[in-house]
Chains A and B, each alone.
Chain A
Amino acid sequence: EVQLVESGGGLVQPGGSLRLSCAASGLTFSSYVINWVRQAPGKGLEWVSALSGSGVGTYYADSVKGRFTISRDNSKNTLYLQMNTLRAEDTAVYYCAKSTPRALGVIFWGQGTLVTVSS
């Protein structure tokens, strides 16, 4: 059974940093593109970033480019999202999401971790 478990969310001040983790099990982790998708309170879904299975191909939404860095440790079956220079508009639940085989959408979602940016 596939599991994606996010952690690392919390309350952070504007301008601060936070690192999210996504621990995966039940899949050959290095074979899949994994994404971060976020959802602001009461709002819709927004794609944030994606990383290829090898860790070479990285992709970012314009809204986070230059501030967020996605990475992975395939030996630990874990995906990370380093978030710097956080803004109030980054407040959201962040979901870890396994891509479809062609990496064109999500086939499986984690439960999410809440990030709140506020003073």
Chain B
Amino acid sequence: GENVEQHPSTLSVQEGDSAVIKCTYSDSASNYFPWYKQELGKRPQLIIDIRSNVGEKKDQRIAVTLNKTAKHFSLHITETQPEDSAVYFCAASPGANSKLTFGKGITLSVRP
């Protein structure tokens, strides 16, 4: 089955700097890669996703890039703000009739 890994487990950045979170996956059949944000005490929520027919997707300060050859995808957050502090989960799925597999999550701390 699919195996999704996230490294490192924690990341601390200064407010205003950029943050990059990387995930790797094992199943070459995976074609859907979402990112979820979980603020303290709240439920995970989708912030951006990408499909395998696209190399990059942007939404305001966040972007996701996908490298299918290397089997990794990354979340980029620019101009970080304190409210970006949260746990971020990446996930992968082969699509039809398949489940999402999540990584272990990374805790991002933005220092004011």
Do A and B come together as binding partners?
no
> Which of B's residues lie within 8 Å of A, judged by CB?
none
